[in-house]
Amino acid sequence: MKGKFFTLLFFTILSFVIFSKIRIKTKIENLKTDKEVENFIKSFHKKKYAKFKIFKFKEYKGEGEICKKIADSLNITKSFYKADFDNNGLTDILVIGKYYGLNIFVVMDFGENNLKLYNLKKNYFPYCIVPKISKIGNKTVINYYYEKEHSWLNLKKKFEIIKKTWVYKFGDFVEYNYNPKEYNIEKIEYETTPCFGFCSVFTIKIDQSKNAIFNAKMYNRKGRKGKEIKGIFQTKIKENDYSKIVQLLNYIDFPNLKDNYSVGWTCDQSCILTVTYNNGKVKKINDYGLKGTSGLINLYGLMFNLRFNQDWKKKQSEQ
């Protein structure tokens, strides 16, 4: 009886060791065909992404076929590519598709069935950008290529490709910084303006001690059906949220960004970011359309989120 017990115990332990070494494939790893990947993207929001179609650059038909030329030069022949963009040991996927124009999607796998979809063409990019996965050290990055825009005075100028690089940091994809710097940030001020519609209008000011003032002017509500908040509020920004903002500002090298950005359409919202740093130096960025760079878009998102993820108290004079 004792012999049978130890035999059973031995095989139970052996089975556990064997099966623990078998790596269960994730949902992304199991995707094989274009149709499977297309349906996978649609599954994130069946109504929103109902018209999404996976796309290969060799199928491109358009004026000048610029996309196809760039893709051919980079040997981008597939509609999707797999990689690990955040070095967490799980497989992520980059997908090329048509969704109200040409778009580049990435789905990140954070484990425990936690998948998140990112649209990398959140910026005001040219219609055609071609992504290529690459490595910088041990970091997996996405190089993206597009044709340099020429004015009508230079239409005969030679075909020219611009290359830039995205990396996954701070919870999203931002422009890769080969030499990050650290500035002594003393004050952050963020202001939005009205638009032809229901854009949130507010200002947030944060000092070096994380003391903050929030002036909710118009259309500040959490979700479409949330209650609108108005007035002047104050709080101390949570350490983790303040740290994210400061780290992101440093990584995008804010003093060396342009002073002005603008999209090519009208009736949109503007924002003004003012950062005081290094003993009173001031960097001011005006951004019409709020789409200056990927890093700035991520920063704006963090500032918008502060309206609802902090413990704001209405100032006494406003009560």
pLDDT for 49-87, tens place per residue? Answer: 999 999 999 887 765 578 888 999 999 999 999 999 999
Residue 8 lies in a domain: no
Q: Are 121 and 103 in contact (CB under 8 A)?
A: yes
Write the CA distances from 252 to 135, 168, 256, 265, integer angstroms: 20, 13, 9, 25
Same domain flag for 293 and 219:
yes
Instruction: Count the residues in the chain.
Output: 319
Same domain flag for 161 and 284:
no
Q: At what angle do helices 239-251 and 294-309 cross, to 10 degrees?
A: 170
Among 121, 145, 175, where does a domain finish? Answer: 175
Higher pLDDT, 31 or 22: 31
* Per-residue pLDDT at 208 exceeds 80: yes
Instruction: Name the average pLDDT for the chain.
Output: 89
Grouping H, G, I as helix, E, B as strand and the rest as coil, residue 270 is: strand
Same domain flag for 164 and 38:
yes
Grouping H, G, I as helix, E, B as strand and the rest as coil, residue 56 is: coil
Number of domains making up the chain: 2
* Per-residue pLDDT at 20 exceeds 50: no
Same domain flag for 93 and 132:
yes
Q: Are 310 and 191 in contact (CB under 8 A)?
A: no
Average pLDDT estimate for 79-108 = 95
Residue 98 lies in a domain: yes
Q: Which domain holds residue 304?
A: 185-318
Same domain flag for 234 and 166:
no
What's residue 23's pLDDT? 46
* Per-residue pLDDT at 150 exceeds 60: no
Residue 47 lies in a domain: yes
Same domain flag for 155 and 207:
no
* Per-residue pLDDT at 149 exceeds 70: no
Q: How confident is the model at residue 152 (pLDDT cuts 50, 70, 90)?
A: very low
What's residue 153's pLDDT? 47
What strands lie across the sheet with 161-169, from one edge to the other? 130-136, 139-147, 161-169, 172-175
* Per-residue pLDDT at 33 exceeds 60: yes
Residue 1 lies in a domain: no
* Per-residue pLDDT at 40 exceeds 70: yes
Same domain flag for 85 and 214:
no
Higher pLDDT, 67 or 240: 240
Q: HSE on the CB side for 234, CA within 13 Å? A: 7
Residue 12 lies in a domain: no
What's residue 25's pLDDT? 63
204: β partners: 190, 214
Among 175, 205, 239, where does a domain finish? Answer: 175
Same domain flag for 129 and 207:
no
What's residue 156's pLDDT? 53
Same domain flag for 213 and 304:
yes
pTM: 0.84
Same domain flag for 89 and 203:
no
Same domain flag for 112 and 202:
no
**CA distance linking residue 70 with residue 45, whole number of Å:** 31
Same domain flag for 309 and 241:
yes
What's residue 16's pLDDT? 47
Cα-only R_g, the chain: 24
* Per-residue pLDDT at 126 exceeds 80: no
Higher pLDDT, 26 or 20: 26
Average pLDDT estimate for 301-312 = 97
**CA distance linking residue 289 with residue 261, whole number of Å:** 8
